Structure 1
Amino acid sequence: MSSNVSNPSIISAISVNSDRALGCILGLAAGDALGVGYEFNKPLPSALPIEMIGREGFEPGEWSDDTAMSIPIIDAGIASQGYFGDHELDLIAEGWFTWFEAQPKGIGQQIFSVINASHCERTAQSLAKASAMRYRQIPNRSAGNGSLMRTAPVVLPNLDRETVADAAGRISLLTHGDPIASEACVIWSVGIAHAIEYGSFDGIDEGVGLLPVSRRSFWNKALKEAQHRAPNTFRSNGWVVQALQGAWSAITTTKIPFDDPSRHLQLAMEAAVRGGGDTDTVAAIAGSLLGARWGLSAIPESWIGKIHGYPGLSGFELIERILSGYA
């Protein structure tokens, strides 16, 4: 298939697995752009329409750091031989340093502090050292949602679950020294890989099963809690656990329409935004799994046509970047 995707109709020609793989990334970007205009708001009423409205500093449809930090992971995956080794982590680090030097909008405090402390050396090792140092110094403030928001691209080179889990954990540690952030990334990334392969959300349990035995009950309880509570009850969603719970709640408490099942993607992403708080990140997290389950073809073309952002890409150019890289 041609990688020229300037015409939205070409999306319909993408194979099922490609549709889902592209869906996880474009779902992330669309959720990010959808949520950025509502960030830091209180929970919103269910009847309020959710649109890509932008906010001060962000144009309507413009994605933020969630997607911007994902793109170096996409590029490193393209350059890899099916896994993320030390060389690929250095490529990711270099991409983040370049992004940081562009004075990005909306960068989270934890990520800012880690990159700022390590930018002179410009290596993955320097990032990981700064991340670990932050965790030692302020352990109660090192489990933000900033590594979970960008984890989806780790599945693109290889869907093998253990390979995905290893990559998710290693890349998380570059900026988030708290192991709980890595655990969240493992769960979500494995869930995405499963959704791409099988078209279901069951892989979340598979992700929990790859954690140390001592950690599984914590996460099983957190996930079960999310399935029985509304997204707007997870008010501390800057913390990685509640960010994951908010996203999982939006997915699992939003009914799948009988007459149009794939519309679940849009409805659940809107529910994630209505939850309030860190709306762009929770919607990006939810969008990555929803896109992996329902595919790129389920994302409204009006959204794809509107989304754009660092490093100067449109939604369709992001699709082309992935398709041409993994051709």
Structure 2
Amino acid sequence: MSTQPSERQPIVITPDVEDRARGVLLASACGDALGVPYEFAKAPTHPEMIGGGLGPYDPGEWSDDTQMAACIAQGISGGASLLKDSTLDVIAENFMTWLREGATDVGTQTRAVLGGFDDYAGTASAKLKKSAKAYSAQTDRAAGNGALMRTAPVGLAYLDSPTATAQAAVAVAGLTHDDQLVDESCILWTEAIRNAVVTGEIAIRPGIDLLRPESRDYWTKAIDDAEAGSLNTHQNGFTVGALQCSWNAVHSVASLTGVEAVQLGIENAVRLGADTDTIAAIAGSLLGAAWGASSVPTIWSEAVHGWPGLTGDQYADLALTIIRGGN
């Protein structure tokens, strides 16, 4: 990641910015719930929020993607800084509470890392980081999509700074994943969210400038391939494949606007198959960032809900406390 400091640009929190911020969380949660019934099953032609899946889940209920994102959103809902260890400790504790009390489905890597919490000394976040590093050291499969799936609230934390957004992305990813590709995928997606909330425009390539110079060609090709439809959808549990599939779904509706873009883009994410809830949650976060909560289909926003006992509107409202809180 680039270490060059960037001067912060004050952001005016207008009603449009508020709507787009709420859209990040709401559309991501809706994508999650829409993808739940089809996770690692036959890809649907006409996806619906019918529940079931690996939970099993009630119709409209979100899964671990949004459950973990909610742990982050609640941890920074008062404007707490993701660049402070004390905030990361709160989020780490939230993750552990979720694992004990609310987890309906947990990814293999995340379960292993959280399961090692008590094996290490230090603060809550230090324990998880040590566990993540140990997991990474013993496998060549440490680049799962479990950090990228929960980037929605991270993209809201520093609307005034791409650099701080990138630093926050790495800090939060590191609680469960110790891998460069994971860090870089999270940087790209959180910056895309931040930029869309501020400007209303969808773009992922500006985030490439926040990466290490030696990584930029790799990600440029990955994004080019995603736009061309050169995808291995069966490998979207891998963080690079997850970003490619999510960007492919977002890019597929580049000519559309509003409700049509949000709905079709999320549906296209589910139609890609494999890790459907995760891909639709990731894609939804960026589509919601551009078009706002007001462009999320009402039938979805009224149905979506989940741990820790939140409705879709209540979850979306956490976005307002994040962007108004300051850091």
Shift of 1:287: 0.3
Identical positions, percent:
40
**Corresponding residue of 2:180:** 179
Map 1:149-168 to 2 at 5 A. 149-159=149-159, 160-168=161-169
Shift of 1:253: 2.2
Q: One-letter code of the match for 1:15?
A: P
Mapped partners of 1:255, 1:18: distance in 2: 22
**Corresponding residue of 2:227:** 227
SS in 2 for 1:141: coil
SS in 2 for 1:152: coil
- 2:305 corresponds to 1:304: no
Mapped partners of 2:106, 2:94: distance in 1: 15
**Corresponding residue of 1:54:** 51
Shift of 1:72: 1.8
Mapped partners of 2:80, 2:242: distance in 1: 31
Give TM-score, length-normalised by structure 2. Answer: 0.89
SS in 2 for 1:127: helix
Mapped partners of 1:281, 1:74: distance in 2: 17
**Cα distance per residue 1:144-195 (max 9 Å; x no partner):** 0000000121132321110110000111011011111010000000000000
Q: Say if 1:72 and 1:95, in contact at 8 Å, map to a contact too.
A: yes
**Cα distance per residue 1:78-124 (max 9 Å; x no partner):** 24445431011001001000001116111101000000011466700
SS in 2 for 1:270: helix
**Corresponding residue of 2:201:** 200
Q: One-letter code of the match for 1:191?
A: A
Mapped partners of 2:317, 2:245: distance in 1: 31
Q: Say if 2:82 and 2:172, in contact at 8 Å, map to a contact too.
A: no
**Corresponding residue of 1:34:** 34
Q: 1:230 to 1:262 in 2, by over 3 A?
A: farther
Give TM-score, length-normalised by structure 1. Answer: 0.89
Which 4+ runs in 1 deviate beyond 4 A? Answer: 119-122
Shift of 1:239: 0.5
**Cα distance per residue 1:239-273 (max 9 Å; x no partner):** 0100110010111123533xx54411110100000
Mapped partners of 2:184, 2:265: distance in 1: 23
Q: One-letter code of the match for 1:309?
A: G
Mapped partners of 1:303, 1:100: distance in 2: 26
For structure 1, list consecutive stretches of 5 or more residues without a partner in the other structure.
1-13
For structure 2, list consecutive stretches of 5 or more residues without a partner in the other structure.
1-13
**Corresponding residue of 1:9:** none
**Corresponding residue of 1:266:** 263
**Corresponding residue of 2:131:** 130
**Corresponding residue of 1:254:** 253
Q: One-letter code of the match for 2:287?
A: L
- 2:280 corresponds to 1:295: no
Map 1:12-27 to 2 at 5 A. 15-27=15-27
Supply the RMSD in Å over aligned alpha carbons. 1.8
Q: One-letter code of the match for 2:301?
A: I
Mapped partners of 2:240, 2:321: distance in 1: 35
Map 1:38-117 to 2 at 5 A. 38-44=38-44, 48-56=45-53, 57-102=56-101, 104-117=103-116
